[in-house]
Amino acid sequence: MKPLTLEQFKTQLAVMLRRIPYGTSADLTDYAIAFWDGARVVYAFISDNDGTEQIDDEFELGEYEWNHWHEDFANWINEPVFSVRADLHKRPLAAPADTDVR
């Protein structure tokens, strides 16, 4: 089997996230999540403050991150884990990207 590429991962993740309820995150690792904001996939680090995980900083998933976390992300695709996050429900839903509707 061919190894999972970054673009394949992003595509598969986006499809999954668009199909689940808003406010649900893909728990990619112990320290990183992804979620659909209504227009795109957002990748973010999480921090543990006083026993509650909160979204810390957003990041772009590029080749550098992929090379460092490829194994974690490939494992996640094989066994996806999701969770409902209260902090995502507090974020405004982005307008959907233009899909060339006329």
| DSSP 8-state assignment for residue 12 | H
pTM reported for the whole predicted model: 0.84
Give the pLDDT band (50/70/90) at residue 93.
low
- What are the pLDDT digits (tens) for 20-67? 998 999 999 999 999 999 999 999 999 877 667 788 899 999 999 999
- The pLDDT of 67-92, averaged and rounded, is 91
Cα–Cα distance list, 38 to 1, 31, 35, 54 (Å): 33, 23, 9, 20
pLDDT of residue 52: 73
CB under 8 A, 24+ apart: contacts of 14-20:
14/41, 16/80, 17/41, 20/82
